[in-house]
Amino acid sequence: MLAPAMVVHGGFRCAAVMVALICCSVLCAGVATFAGEVSRKQIAVGKRLRRVNKPALKSIQSPDGDVIDCVHIAHQPAFDHPFLKNHTIQMRPAFHPEGLYDESKLVSDSGAKEQKTILQLWHQNGRCPKGTIPIRRTKGEDVLRATSVKRFGRKKHKTIPKPRFADPDLINESGHQHAIAYVEGEKYYGAKAIINVWEPKIQQFNEFSLSQLWILGGSFGEDLNSIEAGWQVSPDLYGDNNTRLFTYWTSDAYQATGCYNLLCSGFIQINSDIAMGASISPISDYGGSQYDISILVWKDPKEGNWWMQFGSDLVLGYWPSFLFSYLADSASMIEWGGEVVNSQPDGEHTATEMGSGHFPEEGFGKASYFRNIQIVDESNNLRSPKNVGTFTEQSNCYDVQNENNGDWGTFFYYGGPGRNSDC
């Protein structure tokens, strides 16, 4: 109901521009051209909003300003995809890999807390009914912040950390910096990690800071396949500095396919509790309480779809196998860690933080971490990864240190403040 109202609003703005156009004489042809461009953009934004915002059965106002629309599961954006016209939704995975760790025990052992009741801020004001999925409503201003209407919801080209081939010139060019752990050289069918949640400070509007896992297929060419999930702070994408749960996928190295969250058709959501792109609450305190989220992505060996689970038991949904080329078989590399954009404001390194904004040396309670890192192997079992490598472009700005112990299995601390006297 509310989505069409936004379209009407777009129409009103358009009408105002038309009036301006009519009042304008030949003398202000320049202004008329500008107004024409504005109205074309408004129309494109309106079209985009109609496509991405689906009619809601119920809408929930979140304290952070978001509106969460509860959309009938069969009306979600995925079903705009021509290949999904006759798709029968899988309401549960045919297969679920068993982990090495007892998750309920893990939380109490680590000293970190996992919030059981409120996971996302909007839960304070209601829940979505059964048979619907929660979708963060896209506003006109969200689309207008993107470099173009077409690029809205998409990552920029070639931002994947490429440890073995890291070319310093390319690193400087793209401005993206990473501090990650990774494995390669086998066939992987999934990955899991418990990720500590923070709210890193972002210096410039066009920068972001994220912490995620990457499931990669292909050889970093134009056809790279990627499935990504984690948390991010991205003023450009969301209009604020909140820490949000996100997913991403592409099957052509961020060119024409894929997007964040449900901003294009692809991911099929089945869960009515968790909204992609919604704020996570609570966040860890420096020197105080630590909060974790758990993310598992795995390939169902029967149907071939890639599934995602959030927390110990919330199965969110799946990416159908046909979206991918390499990942239709398996992944060739898994990465875990942080990424920031360094746009070199004032010609200096950005002060945008990664993770907690502190270096790994500071350890638990102060540095950010990924723990109990696992991969899904060829026999579809979760196990500790072997031969974990680490990579960072400038360790004086953001660093990573991996370790091993009984409770945390394979884990690493990562992050940093960015700009400082050594960076």
Ligand X SMILES: *[C@@H]1O[C@H](CO)[C@@H](O)[C@H](O)[C@H]1NC(C)=O
Of the two residues 98 and 422, which places its CB atom closer to ligand X in the complex? 422
Alpha helices in 153-250 (DSSP H): 168-174, 235-238
Cis, peptide link before residue 282, omega less than 30° from 0 = yes
Amino acid at 309: Q
Binding flag, residue 86, ligand X (CB under 6 A): yes
Binding flag, residue 201, ligand X (CB under 6 A): yes
CA dist list (Å): 148 to 6, 45, 278, 367: 20, 10, 23, 36
Binding flag, residue 202, ligand X (CB under 6 A): yes
Options 228, 335, 353, 393, the catalytic residue: 228
Of the two residues 195 and 397, which places its CB atom closer to ligand X in the complex? 397
Q: Tokens representing 265?
A: 């058709």
**Strands of 105-239, DSSP E:** 132-136, 176-188, 190-196, 209-217, 225-233
Let me know: does 134 contact 275? Beta carbons within 8 Å.
yes
Options 199, 207, 339, 353, the catalytic residue: 339
Task: Map the footprint of ligand X across residues 387-406, applying CB under 6 A.
Answer: 393
Q: How many residues contact ligand X, by CB under 6 A? A: 12
Q: Tokens representing 406?
A: 């009984």
Task: Map the footprint of ligand X across residues 15-74, applying CB under 6 A.
Answer: none
Tell me, yes or no, if 37 is annotated catalytic. Answer: no
- For the bound state, the minimum distance from the C-beta of residue 238 to ligand X, rounded and expressed in Å, comes to 9
Of the two residues 280 and 382, which places its CB atom closer to ligand X in the complex? 280
User: What are the residues facing 309 on neighbouring strands?
Assistant: 296, 315
- For the bound state, the minimum distance from the C-beta of residue 188 to ligand X, rounded and expressed in Å, comes to 29
DSSP 8-state symbol, 407? T
Q: Tokens representing 338?
A: 């942080």
DSSP 8-state symbol, 327? G
Binding flag, residue 168, ligand X (CB under 6 A): yes
What's the rounded Cα separation, in Å, for the pair 278 and 261?
A: 10
Q: What are phi and psi of 277, to 5 degrees?
A: 85, 0
37 sits in which H/E element: helix 29-52
Of the two residues 375 and 397, which places its CB atom closer to ligand X in the complex? 397
What's the rounded Cα separation, in Å, for the pair 295 and 274?
A: 13
Binding flag, residue 171, ligand X (CB under 6 A): yes
Of the two residues 83 and 286, which places its CB atom closer to ligand X in the complex? 83
**Stretches 99-107, 142-150, 167-175, 212-220: which one binds ligand X (CB under 6 A)?**
167-175
Of the two residues 124 and 241, which places its CB atom closer to ligand X in the complex? 241
- For the bound state, the minimum distance from the C-beta of residue 304 to ligand X, rounded and expressed in Å, comes to 17
What's the rounded Cα separation, in Å, for the pair 88 and 84?
A: 8
- For the bound state, the minimum distance from the C-beta of residue 150 to ligand X, rounded and expressed in Å, comes to 25
- For the bound state, the minimum distance from the C-beta of residue 285 to ligand X, rounded and expressed in Å, comes to 18
- For the bound state, the minimum distance from the C-beta of residue 202 to ligand X, rounded and expressed in Å, comes to 5
Q: Are strands 132-136 and 209-217 parallel, antiparallel or unpaired?
A: unpaired
Binding flag, residue 139, ligand X (CB under 6 A): no
Tell me, yes or no, if 222 is annotated catalytic. Answer: no
Task: Map the footprint of ligand X across residues 234-253, applying CB under 6 A.
Answer: 235, 240-241
Q: Which residues contact 349 (CB under 8 A, 6 or more apart)?
A: 342, 394, 397, 418, 419, 423
Among 8, 22, 26, 85, binds ligand X (CB under 6 A): 85
- For the bound state, the minimum distance from the C-beta of residue 165 to ligand X, rounded and expressed in Å, comes to 14
- The residues of the shown chain that bind ligand X, judged by CB under 6 A, are 83, 85-86, 168, 171-172, 201-202, 235, 240-241, 393
- Residues designated as active site: 228, 339
